Chain A
Amino acid sequence: MKFQPVIGLEVHVQLLTNTKIFCGCSTKFGASPNSQTCPVCLGMPGALPVLNRKVVEYAILAGLATNCAIAPRSVFARKNYFYPDLPKGYQISQFELPICIGGHLDIEGEWGTKRIGITRIHMEEDAGKLVHSDIPGMGSGSGVDLNRACTPLLEVVSEPDIRSADEAVAYLKKLHQIVVYLGICDGNMEEGSFRCDANVSVMPVGADKFGTRAEIKNVNSFKFVKQAIEYEIERQIELIEDGGKVVQETRLFNPDSGATRSMRGKEEAHDYRYFPDPDLVPLVISTDWVEEVQGSLPELPEAKFKRYQEELGLPAYDAEVLTADRQLAEYFEACVTAGSPAKAAANWVMGEITRKLNEEGKAIAACPVTPQLLTALLALIEKGTISGKIAKTVFDEMWATGKEPAAIVEEKGLVQVSDTGEIEKIIDEIMAANMGQVEEFRGGKEKVFGFFVGQVMRASKGKANPAVVNEMLLKKLKG
Chain B
Amino acid sequence: MKITQEQVEHVAKLARLALSQEEIATFTGQMDGILAYVEKLNELDTSGIIPTSHAVPVENAFREDEVRPSIGTDNALANAPDRVEDFFRVPKVIE
Which residues of A pack against B, CB within 8 Å? 17-19, 23-26, 32-39, 42, 50-56, 75, 80, 82-84, 97, 130-132, 135-138, 140-146, 252, 263, 265, 268-269, 271, 273, 276, 278, 280-284
A282 and B54 contacting across the interface, CB-CB below 8 Å: yes
Main SS of the interface on chain B? loop
CA separation between A55 and B65, bound complex, in Å? Answer: 9
B73 and A17 contacting across the interface, CB-CB below 8 Å: no
B92 and A35 contacting across the interface, CB-CB below 8 Å: no
Min CB distance, B5 to chain A, in Å? Answer: 17
A132 and B92 contacting across the interface, CB-CB below 8 Å: yes
Chain B residues within 8 Å of A54, by CB: 64-65
Chain A residues within 8 Å of B53, by CB: 75, 97, 276, 282
Flag whether B70 is at the interface (Cβ < 8 A).
yes
CA separation between A276 and B51, bound complex, in Å? Answer: 11
Chain B residues within 8 Å of A35, by CB: 70, 72-73, 76, 86
Query: Which of A26, A32, A252, A282 is the most central at the interface, judged by chain B CB atoms within 10 Å of its CB?
Result: A282
Q: Which A-B residue pairs are the 10 nearest by beta carbons?
A: A24-B68, A143-B87, A276-B53, A54-B65, A53-B62, A144-B88, A33-B86, A84-B90, A137-B84, A37-B76
**Nearest A residue to B64, CB-CB:** A53
Name the contact of B93 in the complex, choosing from A19, A80, A142 (C-beta under 8 A).
Answer: A142
Flag whether B63 is at the interface (Cβ < 8 A).
yes
Flag whether B16 is at the interface (Cβ < 8 A).
yes
B92 and A281 contacting across the interface, CB-CB below 8 Å: no
If A19-B65, A34-B76, A36-B70 touch, does A284 touch B85 (CB 8 Å cutoff)? no
CA separation between A103 and B92, bound complex, in Å? Answer: 41
Summed over the interface, the residue pairs from A and B with CB atoms below 8 Å come to a total of: 141
CA separation between A93 and B54, bound complex, in Å? Answer: 16
Which residues of B pack against A, CB within 8 Å? 10, 13-14, 16, 53-56, 58-68, 70-73, 76-77, 82, 84-95
**Nearest A residue to B16, CB-CB:** A82
**15 more CB-based (< 8 A) A-B contacts, given A19-B68, A36-B70, A263-B95:** A18-B67, A26-B70, A34-B88, A37-B73, A38-B68, A38-B70, A52-B64, A53-B62, A131-B87, A132-B92, A138-B84, A141-B92, A142-B90, A273-B14, A276-B54
Chain B residues within 8 Å of A131, by CB: 87
Chain A residues within 8 Å of B54, by CB: 276, 278, 281-282
**Nearest B residue to A36, CB-CB:** B70
Chain B residues within 8 Å of A278, by CB: 54-55
**Nearest B residue to A24, CB-CB:** B68
Min CB distance, A237 to chain B, in Å? Answer: 27
Min CB distance, B67 to chain A, in Å? Answer: 5
Chain B residues within 8 Å of A143, by CB: 84-85, 87-90
B62 and A32 contacting across the interface, CB-CB below 8 Å: no
A281 and B60 contacting across the interface, CB-CB below 8 Å: yes
If A137-B85, A281-B56 touch, does A24 touch B63 (CB 8 Å cutoff)? yes
CA separation between A51 and B65, bound complex, in Å? Answer: 9
A56 and B67 contacting across the interface, CB-CB below 8 Å: no
If A141-B92, A283-B60 touch, does A268 touch B87 (CB 8 Å cutoff)? no
If A19-B65, A141-B92 touch, does A135 touch B87 (CB 8 Å cutoff)? yes
Chain B residues within 8 Å of A39, by CB: 71
**Nearest B residue to A17, CB-CB:** B65
Min CB distance, A119 to chain B, in Å? Answer: 21
